[in-house]
Structure 1
Amino acid sequence: MKSIIISYDLNNSGKNYKDLIQKIESYPNHGKINESVWHINTDDSCEQVRDNLLSAIDNDDSLFVGELSGESAWFNVECGNYYLKENL
């Protein structure tokens, strides 16, 4: 499985994150790293993940999906150390 980072900004105030978060949480292994940054494990490509999430955002929003392929370090993340140690 690939280790994927997702980062997003819903640019206008009052945006509903619920649909996007539900799509991210539909991946079996997911963890919220920071307010708008998530980690998932999947066999999907970055393009497939991006395309899956696009229906939950607007044209003025931004989305980044990237595959981790190297070393990682963190401090005080929302998902906790255990999740990252087990899934990165």
Structure 2
Amino acid sequence: MSSYLIGYNLNSASTDYILLAAEIKKLGTWWHHLDGIWIVKSGLIATQIINELSSFMEDEDELLVVRLSGSGAWIGFNETGSDWLEENL
């Protein structure tokens, strides 16, 4: 399994954030501490994740999915958020 950063801008007023968030949670183990940014540990590849999520977005919305390398740095997150990052990147 790989970890992926999922970022989006929901530019369409008709996009249902709740449905999109529920679909992201179905992809695997997830982290969500920043608006519009998720990290998901999944057995899918980036194009499969795009395909899974694109039906929950409108043409005006933007979606980015990138596989993470395993290293990172962060500040300001609570212990739970930091622990998840350390265990799953």
Return the TM-score normalized by structure 1: 0.89
The CA RMSD over aligned residues, in Å, is: 1.8
| Gaps in structure 2 of 5+ consecutive residues | none
Say which structure is richer in helix. Answer: 2
Q: Does 1:60 align with 2:83?
A: no
Distance of aligned partners of 1:77 and 1:58 in 2 relative to their CA distance in 1, 3 Å threshold: farther
Q: How many residues align?
A: 88
Which 4+ runs in 1 deviate beyond 6 A? none
Instruction: Report percent identity of matched pairs.
Output: 30
Asked whether the equivalents of residues 15 and 56 of structure 2 are also in contact (C-alpha less than 8 Å), the reply is no
In terms of mean alpha carbon deviation, does 73-82 or 62-71 score higher? 73-82
* Aligned counterpart, 1:41: 41
Q: How does 1:9-20 map to 2 (within 5 A)?
A: 9-13=9-13, 15-20=15-20
* Aligned counterpart, 2:23: 23
| Gaps in structure 1 of 5+ consecutive residues | none
**Counterpart amino acid of residue 85 in structure 1:** E
